[in-house]
Amino acid sequence: MNNNNHSASGPLTPAEVAFLCEAQSVTIIPRQRLDGLDLIGGYIPPFHPPQRTTIPLWLALLLKRQRRCNIVPPPWLSAPNIERILKTETENQNLFCPDLPYRWLETAELLLEGCPDDLGGDDGELRVLLRGLREVRQGKVREGLGKLEATYLQMNNLGLLEITEVRGFAKGVVDGLRKIGASTGVGLVLGWMMMISRWGWCFISMVFWTG
């Protein structure tokens, strides 16, 4: 009844994050000819099967459902690669691997749902690996956030859907600290947490604030 149950306001919902993800480009192999298409978001040139072409993901998924194309999965979305990343993530508890694109999780979910047969063999294995990866990273975020009170948090290398999932919690940390700070009025930079190496590892740097 109140404004909370529809989404005119507030952070994006997972369904909306998926919607945004569908706007990104993906490579396809057309199976049928298609005339050029003058979309609002740009012109789609005619298809000449089996010549590859790049189109928005929503369009690719629609054509795939109609068996009019195959989708070429992005290079990072393969079982061996995800397995490698999962291993690194597990071995380095304080780090986030930067080898994943910003929309990795939602892209993977959409492709697993829309074109499992295009993902090169065993999509079951890929699913298991992705679930593992998601859990490992989520655990780190929660642990990192739970330990501190900060005036800001850096969250580089986290994906948009991952951010969406921890959003309420992270916002609570930053908002909550401000309220404590507001009552005492003292702010002070204290230090860092979760250090970083220079090999492109992500970090969450924190500046503490004493009350």
Partner 1 sequence: MDIDDLLQELDDNKVLGGTRDINDLTQSWIAERTAPEILPFQTALLERLMERIRQQIELVETQTGNLDPKTNFCLILLQTELERVKFLVRGYLRARIHKIDKYSIYILTTPSIRGRLSPPELSYLKSHLGLLNSHFLASFLRRFPEQLRRLDDKAGGISMVEEPDLDGAVFCKVVRDIEDNIARIPGTDSEFKLTKGDVYVVRYSAVREFVLRGEIELI
Partner 2 sequence: MYGDLGLKLVQHAKRTQSLPQLPPYQSDIVRSVTREVRDLDRDVTEILEPFNGHFDPAEEPATACSLLVHHLCMRRNKRCLLAYHRVRVEAIEEMCWSGSDLLEQVQASQNKVAEGGAGIGSAEGSGASSLSPEEEEYARQYGDLLAAYKGQWTDIDLTGSLEPPRDLFIDVRVLKDAGEIQTEYGAITLTKNSQFFVRQGDVERLIAQGFLQKLN
Instruction: Give the residues lining the site for partner 2 (CB under 8 A).
Output: 1-3, 6-8, 15-16, 18-19, 62, 65-66
Residue with tokens 């952070």: 11
Cβ pair 193, 210 in contact under 8 A: no
d(CA 112, CA 201): 27
Q: Which stretch binds partner 1 (CB under 8 A): 16-24, 71-79, 109-117, 125-133?
A: 16-24
Torsion of CA 64, 58, 114, 116, to 10 degrees: 80
Instruction: Determine phi and psi for 174, rounding to 5 degrees.
Output: -70, -45
Interface mask (CB under 8 A) for partner 1, residues 49-68, using x and -?
Answer: ---------xx--x------
Q: Which stretch binds partner 1 (CB under 8 A): 10-18, 79-87, 117-125, 132-140?
A: 10-18
- Interface with partner 1 includes 191 (CB under 8 A)? no
Q: Which of 61, 82, 58, 79 is nearest to 70 (CA)?
A: 61
Given the rule CB under 8 A, which residues bind partner 1?
3, 7-12, 19-20, 23, 34-35, 37, 39-43, 58-59, 62, 151-158, 160, 163, 167, 170-171, 173-175, 178, 181, 185, 187-189, 207, 209
